[in-house]
Amino acid sequence: MTKIAIILGSTRPGRNGEAVANWVFEKAATRDAASYEIIDLRDYPLPHFDEPMPPLMGQYSQDHTKDWAAKIAEFDGYVFVTPEYNHSTSGVLKNAIDFLSAEWNNKAAGFVSYGATGGVRAVEHLRLVAAELQMATVRDQAALSLYTDFENFSVLKPGDHQVAALESMFNQLEAWSKALEPLRAEVAVA
């Protein structure tokens, strides 16, 4: 079965991302085409990139990198749950992505963002990073506004249109994750 990680891209105290990731997981758990798992970056405390070799080489020397690589390699696709900080994603998510290379390749990626303007600028930056890492990003995304999808900027209450957007993203992500299977298998054999 296709395995998809929901990567919680914030580690700050009081983060809204935990509620968002749990909402994504709750909706994903009702689906049959893939299995989903939340990956919380708090459980993988990576320092600023500290490997002597570039990730493209795949020669990881640090135990934290090896653990992170093994976890990410398990999946066929990803849902990145990202806040928007200063018109971009969080530093902790960008750092976690930058630690690896081949583990991301030939896999699909979808996005759920949140922020004052729905986090859309964070996703645009992540799309560029994903393209460089040979991830196929899907078009549809859920973009949650702190003004309309949260009560008092902290209690998640997404509108029905957000559920529809999330379901559309799941449909695309599952289809693309499945479609990329032969490419991943071909690379694994080579």
| CA separation for the pair 167, 171 (Å, rounded) | 6
SS3 assignment, position 132: helix
- CA atoms of 6 and 182, how far apart (whole Å): 23
Class of the domain covering 2-189: alpha beta
pLDDT at 82: 98
Q: How many CB atoms lie within 10 A of CB 98?
A: 16
* CA gap 32, 76 in Å, rounded: 15
What is the model's pLDDT at position 187?
80
Q: Which residues pair with 38 in a beta bridge?
A: 6
What residue segments make up the domains of the chain, in order of their start? 2-189
How many alpha carbons fall within 13 Å on the CB side of residue 118? Answer: 14
Q: What is the pLDDT of residues 98-126, one digit of tens each?
A: 999 999 999 999 999 999 999 999 999 99
- Tokens in use for 30? 């009702």
- Number of C-alpha atoms within 13 angstroms, CB side, residue 147? 4
What percent of the chain clears pLDDT 70, i.e. is strictly above it? 99
Nearest to 39 by CA among 18, 56, 58: 18
Confidence of residue 85 (pLDDT cuts 50, 70, 90): very high
Tell me the three state secondary structure of residue 179.
Answer: helix
Question: What angle do the packed helices 160-179 and 181-189 form, to 10 degrees?
Answer: 40
pLDDT at 83 over 90: yes
Residue 33 has pLDDT above 70, yes or no: yes
